[in-house]
Amino acid sequence: MHMAIPRSYQGWTVLANGFRPFFLLGAVQAALSILIWLPAFQGELTLSSAFTPRDWHVHEMLYGYLPAIVTGFLFTAIPNWTGRLPIRGAPLLALVTVWMTGRVTVTLSALGPWWAALLIDASFLLLVVLAAAREITVGRNWRNLPVVAIVAVLCGGNVAFHIEAHLRGTADHAIRVGVAVIVLLLALIGGRIIPSFTRNWLVKHNPGRLPTPFGRFDVAVLLVSVLSLLGWIVVPDNAVAGLALAAAGLIHAVRLARWAGDRTLRERLLVILHVGYAFVPLGFLLTAAASVGWVLPSAGLHAWMVGAAGIMTLAVMTRATLGHTGQVLTASAATHVVYLGIIVAAVTRICAVLVPDHAGALLHVAAIAWIIAFSGFVLAFGPLLLGLKLRALATRSAGSAQPAL
């Protein structure tokens, strides 16, 4: 679906749609954060954050990078859901400014009062929730309010992160809350777009077995996910909670198998969505194993965050950028590099936990691959997001028959 810039809009192209600034800046921040994190982790760089180095790293991924991408997705999807004009221009610039200020404030939070960093950083997601809720309510698009409700919980998790880190020195509970929210968002949104995009492509290019439509099984998957994740947040080392996580992992794997991903190998824009979702059940199973001491907890966390979240966000970012700037919906050579980079990052980061004898080398490979993936996205898709190739691409929109979001 090609989201043209309305003729009445006369401002900067990058502020014409929510996905443009947030996908671009979110990718820049994702690459820079890991570029900073590696020397900080090795003690070669000292941060001026009130958070511990580990908590700063987790926060900037969980409550910095990911909220930017979620906002870009929401502000692009909501006009399609409601038929209303997108949030753009000065209001969009204000939100971008608040997000960027939050990144600087958190990184330099040791230089001022901790509550100031909390207020500035948390205000971004609060504004996003209020803006999204207003658009959905005015547009009477009630079925999508649960997505906004989940983002509101993410906002609460960010507030809890600052408070817990200040009171206890670390933010373990708030980290689990944030991770759980992201996993639920991936399960909810992925469960809508992956079978939908797959069905549309298969009907046109490879008729035959189609994805199973959303039904009671999917509702059961989401319910089991919520219950198991709640148990994990409260008692991560409990065997009963581990059993629930294992059950969730197995039914997520079954859910993925019902989406006919094996029939989409010719189109990498689709395959990557299925690959990304595969890390959701893997994360559940690894976290279940961690609950009984078989592996370290970070294996499951990185399966979810680097694997599922990293791969699926880049999959959505590339697809939406192509579709909404009039480009043909197919993966270029540069897009293949981006996808390969993020898959390598996910696999090696998990292996760094499972194979501790080679953890140092694997961590470096994972970090470099992550940086390649996100900096590659910036270089390949940045001109499109900035509108530098908009006119040339407008003539090619006839090839984008699949919806981008």
Which pair of tokens denotes residue 187? Answer: 């399960």
255 and 194 Cβ atoms separated by less than 8 Å: no
Task: Give me the numbers of helices (H) and strands (E) for the chain, helices first please.
Answer: 15, 0
pLDDT at 154: 96
Tell me the DSSP string of 91-159.
HHHHHHHHHHHHHHHHHTGGGS-HHHHHHHHHHHHHHHHHHHHHHHHHTT-GGGHHHHHHHHHHHHHHH
164 is a domain residue: yes
Q: Residue 25's domain spans which residues?
A: 11-170
122 is a domain residue: yes
112 is a domain residue: yes
Q: The pTM is what?
A: 0.92
402 and 197 Cβ atoms separated by less than 8 Å: yes
Cα 173 to Cα 300: distance, rounded to the nearest angstrom: 16
For the chain (405 residues), the mean pLDDT of every run of 10, in chain order, is 55 89 97 92 87 94 96 92 87 96 95 95 96 90 89 96 95 96 96 95 93 94 97 94 97 97 94 98 98 95 98 97 91 96 98 95 96 97 84 38 55
184 is a domain residue: no
**For the chain, how many structural domains are there in total?**
1
33 is a domain residue: yes
242 is a domain residue: no
pLDDT at 388: 83
121 and 102 Cβ atoms separated by less than 8 Å: yes
312 is a domain residue: no
Q: Nearest 5 degrees, angle CA 253-CA 257-CA 258?
A: 120
302 is a domain residue: no
Cα 64 to Cα 59: distance, rounded to the nearest angstrom: 7
pLDDT at 86: 85
What one-character DSSP code corresponds to residue 65?
I
pLDDT at 38: 84
